[in-house]
Amino acid sequence: MVAAVALVWSAIFVGQAGGQREEQDVAASAGKSTRVRHDVPLGLDLYMPVPEENPITAAKLALGRQLFFDTRLSVDRTKACATCHVPERAFTDGRRLAEGVQGRQGTRNTPTLVNRGYGASHFLDGRAGSLEEQVLQPIEGESELAYEIALAVSRLQQSDDYQQAFDRAFGRAPDAETLAWALASYVRSILAGDSPVDRFRRGDRRALSPEEAEGLRIFVGKGNCNACHVGPNVTDEEFHNTGVAWDDGELTDPGRFRVTGLDQHKGSFKTPTLRELARTAPYMHDGSIGTLEEVVDFYDGGGTPNPFLDDDIRPLDLTADEKRALVAFLRALTGSVREGTR
């Protein structure tokens, strides 16, 4: 049974993102991006889409990392990108809702940044189409760093160290474009893999305990979790309504609807990666569920009814043992996180 489930799981991983494809199949440009081969942790696609105008270099990574941890990108010099995206927490912050400068509270939970280089869209509602677009928005966000990009750039231009670092990376002084390029390059380096599940897929049948292996069987079977959580990053990068954004029939967060204006997107949010789950509590777009056990209970109950509930969300009727096994498997998707290298 364990071997059979492993084959199914492998098919799911390879089927979504192409697995470790031959270089000649992916070397050509797709639009303005080229799929570039990387040295990645076990379990991830070897090839990542990278914009042609922003190839990854060591100088950009070093600069992007420095900027990510620098409080000078916030209006009052008190917060940095890393304030909410803490490396030890798989680049989340452990809070229910993100907190920006002067204690300003956001309306959504801080999502992990692991493996975002593989993402098709960014933010929980998908409002950014690239990492270069995404990384600048938190700087200007009123409940985040609250600093105008032009002023942030001016502050960087006053630093001799940054002038030299930008010149090494881009051959020119800091500006909005190179700021975005540097930060995006660094975010592409944040990778999570080499979990017990990945080692199990590679052929190590001892990597998962019997309970975790049973959880895998439920994940791809009775639980139907793989309807949305597929591919090397365990997400379809699509948007789904699970009912979390509905309370007593009222919509509490429009989600994807705010971007598209389509009724069917009301309360829909992007499927999150399941990698590093043990480090990224609390869960859901609003941080309203504190533990993985509660997450499984939520889905077992069929989510929260609303007019736009996703068709795949329905009661699962899991037993107590099945729930424990599923949670054990989800925890086994936690491996190692690395950043700052190609």
User: Looking at the domain assignment, is residue 8 inside a domain?
Assistant: no
DSSP 96-132: SS-B-GGG-B-SSPPPP-TTGGG-SSBSTT--BSSHH
Q: Mean per-residue pLDDT for 9-24?
A: 43
* Claim to verify: residue 180 and residue 245 sit in the same structural domain: no
* Claim to verify: residue 179 and residue 291 sit in the same structural domain: no
* Claim to verify: residue 329 and residue 201 sit in the same structural domain: yes
What is the Cα–Cα distance from 289 to 163, expressed in whole angstroms? 44
Q: What is the pLDDT of residue 20?
A: 34
End position of a domain, from candidates 136, 168, 188: 188
Domain total of the chain:
2
User: Looking at the domain assignment, is residue 14 inside a domain?
Assistant: no
* Claim to verify: residue 114 and residue 152 sit in the same structural domain: yes
Reply yes or no on whether the pLDDT at 23 is more than 60. Answer: no
CATH number at residue 204: 1.10.760.10
* Claim to verify: residue 133 and residue 199 sit in the same structural domain: no
The model's pLDDT over 44-78, given as tens digits with 9 standing for 90+, comes to: 999 999 999 999 999 999 999 999 999 999 999 99
Reply yes or no on whether the pLDDT at 31 is more than 70. Answer: no
End position of a domain, from candidates 143, 160, 188: 188
**Cα–Cα distances in Å, from 137 out to 8, 165, 217, 290, 336?**
39, 22, 40, 27, 28
- SS3 per residue for 319-341: CHHHHHHHHHHHHCCCCEEECCC
Q: Is the dihedral of CA 257, 260, 264, 265 positive or negative?
A: negative
List the domain range (segments joined by +) for residue 104.
58-188
* Claim to verify: residue 170 and residue 221 sit in the same structural domain: no
User: Looking at the domain assignment, is residue 82 inside a domain?
Assistant: yes
* Claim to verify: residue 158 and residue 227 sit in the same structural domain: no
User: Looking at the domain assignment, is residue 104 inside a domain?
Assistant: yes
The model's pLDDT over 269-317, given as tens digits with 9 standing for 90+, comes to: 999 999 999 999 999 999 999 999 999 999 999 999 999 999 999 999 9
Residue 148: how many other CB atoms lie within 10 Å: 11
* Claim to verify: residue 143 and residue 225 sit in the same structural domain: no
* Claim to verify: residue 152 and residue 198 sit in the same structural domain: no
The model's pLDDT over 105-159, given as tens digits with 9 standing for 90+, comes to: 999 999 999 999 999 999 999 999 999 999 999 999 999 999 999 999 999 999 9
Q: What is the pLDDT of residue 5?
A: 58
End position of a domain, from candidates 188, 217, 244: 188
User: Looking at the domain assignment, is residue 145 inside a domain?
Assistant: yes
User: Looking at the domain assignment, is residue 43 inside a domain?
Assistant: no
User: Looking at the domain assignment, is residue 45 inside a domain?
Assistant: no
pTM, 2 dp:
0.92
* Claim to verify: residue 200 and residue 334 sit in the same structural domain: yes
Q: What is the pLDDT of residue 9?
A: 56
In the chain, what percentage of residues exceed pLDDT 90? 88
User: Looking at the domain assignment, is residue 332 inside a domain?
Assistant: yes
* Claim to verify: residue 134 and residue 208 sit in the same structural domain: no
